[in-house]
Structure formats: C-alpha cells, structure tokens
Amino acid sequence: MQPNIIHRNNVTITGKGKQPLIFAHGFGCDQKMWRFIVPAFEDRYQVILFDYVGSGCSDTTAYNAERYRSLRGYVQDVLDICSALNLRDAIFVGHSVSSMIGMYAAIAAPQYFSKLIMVGPSPCYLADGDYNGGFTRSDVDDLFVTMDKNYIGWANFLAPALMGTPQQPELGDELVQSFCSSDPIIARRFAEVTFLSDCRPDLHRSTVPTLVMQCRDDIVAPVSVGEYLSQHLPNSTYRLLNATGHCPHVSAPGETIEHIRSFLHTEAVMT
C-alpha cells in the first residue's frame, strides 16, 4: 500500500466484505455525498471512498495543471488508488463526470474492474447536431463566468471554513469538512474539463458490464443523454429512476440503493 496515494486522495476504507466497491464523487462534490448509500453496502463489500485531487479533503499540493487538464488525469487518480490497494474485480460507482472517468479507467486497466455503475452520467454535456447534451456553449460559458465572477468572493468566503468554523449545532461535522479544502481555482478548471469533454468517440471501447442510472428532470444530464448512452455503450443496462434532479444518491438514496443492489444481484447470477 502506498501511503502517499492514500493521503493524497483522502482514501477511506470501510465495510466487512471482500469485493471492493469504489464510490467516486462528481464535479463540485466530494466523498461525503455517498453518506446515505455507503451503509447499505458495508455488510457485503469493502467500501472505498476517495476525493479527487483538488476536491474535498485531498492534498491540493498534489495538483498538477498538466496532469489534470483532461479527464485522463482524474482517471489516473482512480488507477493509482486501484494499484495502491492492489484491487481486483472492483465495482466502480461513479456519479456524474465520474461515470466517464470510471469507464476510461476500466478501458485503460480492465484487470481492476468487474462492473461499472453510472449515476447521472453524460458522455458529452454540449449539444452537437442531433445529440442533445443539455447544454449550449453559451450555457457552459455562463457557468464559467459565474464561477469566475464569484471566485474572489468565494475564496474569502471559504477561508474561515479552512481554518475551522465555529460549530453550528444543526450542521454535522461532515458538511463543514466536505468543503475543507475544495480549491476554487481547481474547481474552476475541473468545471472546464467536465463540461467540455466529449467521450462519445470512446464509448464503443468499453467492455465491462455497466448500469446506467438516469434521473427524471435532471438539468445536468437530461433523459435523452441517458438513452444515447444506453444505445452506444456496449454491455449496458439502462434504468430510468423515479428520482428527480442530478443527485439521486442524496435525494432518493432508497431507490438508488435498490437499483445498485438489483444490478449487482442480476450480474452475479448471470456470471
């Protein structure tokens, strides 16, 4: 085990089982987002949580602009963790942009992964011809501008949180912690990598059995995106959830857990 990777990506391991189950957070979040889901799997799996470099409580000094200028740098974070923990046949659950990160990781090093579970995935956020990604270029630019214009304000806003905010009784420690080292500059760059990536040309290279979980009324990944994925991603199972929004693992944990369980169970029976 390489302690530097464990520290760098703030890797947390829980659970009593043997088979590794990795939960990967999306853009603007961190591992705490999985808090309602994790307990349901701790009995049967080795649950692995982490923060990408620059998110959550990762070591931001490890951020390298050259490495993280494309999704591949984030893929390397996942591969580094798999290698450090010597994982095999892991199930990778990725939210949002992490779905594609997981797919690339499984293409690059198939020996680590047995299944992929994608929560609110999108292979491309920008609309392009017949493809409705949900965003126009001006929508995305608007997000970048919003982040740019708020950057100074938010950096100041964040500073006291970094030094330890006075306890607020109605808040758990976890929420305060989740933003303990989110770096606004890195977040801004991550936004660009996330929203400008086009993974569609690589979908056909995926071989691992994959569950695509699509929510209703998701502003980030509309239903058309989930349907596109299910048609173009080999070996995939498509499920349209009743949950709405982009974060079913927070807003509808029960339904999210059910779908993950049933997919893992079906796959286990088939193989």
Partner 1 sequence: MTDYLNLAPFAFFSIDDHGKILAANEATCNLLGYAKEELVEHYISAYVSLGTRIFFQTHFFPMLLIRQVAKEVFITLSNRERQQIPVLLNAQRRMVNGRAEIVCGAMVIENRNKYENEIIAAKKYAEQALQENTELQQARQQLQQHAETLDAQILLLEQRNADLQQVNKALTHNMQEPLRKLMVLSSMLLREDSTTPGHLATHLERIAQVAQHTRDVVKQVQRFVQIDMQELNPQPVDLNTLVTAAAEKARAIQPAADITMHCSPLPVIMGFTDDLSFLFSELLHNAIKFRHPQRLLQLHISTVVSKDNKFRMLENRYRYTDFIRIRIQDNGTGIPEQYKDTIFQLFQKLNRGNDGLGLGLALCKKIIERHQGFITVDSQPDKGSEFCCHFPIA
Q: Which residues bind partner 1 (CB under 8 A)?
A: 27-29, 64, 66-67, 70, 72-73, 75-76, 88, 104, 107-108, 110-111, 135, 139-150, 153-154, 157, 160-161, 165, 168, 170-171, 175-176, 178-179, 205, 219-220, 246-247
Residue 166 sits at the vertex; the CA angle it makes with 164 and 169, to the nearest 5 degrees, is 125
Are 120 and 220 spatial neighbours (Cβ–Cβ below 8 Å)? yes
Q: Which of 117, 104, 109 is nearest to 75 (CA)?
A: 104
Find the shortest distance in angstroms from Cβ 62 to partner 1: 10
Task: Give the pair of three-digit tokens for residue 5.
Answer: 């990777």
Nearer to partner 1, 146 or 266 (CB): 146
Find the shortest distance in angstroms from Cβ 261 to partner 1: 27
C-alpha 41/C-alpha 89 separation (Å) is 16
Find the shortest distance in angstroms from Cβ 112 to partner 1: 9
Nearer to partner 1, 69 or 265 (CB): 69
Nearer to partner 1, 66 or 130 (CB): 66
Find the shortest distance in angstroms from Cβ 110 to partner 1: 8
Nearer to partner 1, 128 or 142 (CB): 142
C-alpha 271/C-alpha 265 separation (Å) is 10
Question: What positions carry a catalytic annotation?
Answer: 96, 218, 246
| Alpha helix ranges (H) inside the chain | 3-8, 71-84, 97-108, 137-163, 173-178, 184-196, 223-232, 248-251, 253-270
Element (H, E) at 211: strand 210-216
Find the shortest distance in angstroms from Cβ 108 to partner 1: 5
Nearer to partner 1, 207 or 262 (CB): 207
Task: Give the pair of three-digit tokens for residue 227.
Answer: 């349907």
CA distances from 12 to 165, 173, 258 (A): 23, 16, 23
Nearer to partner 1, 179 or 238 (CB): 179
C-alpha 259/C-alpha 41 separation (Å) is 13
* Residue 47 per-residue DSSP state: E
Find the shortest distance in angstroms from Cβ 143 to partner 1: 3
* Residue 85 per-residue DSSP state: T
Q: Which of 150, 264, 142 is nearest to 209 (CA)?
A: 264
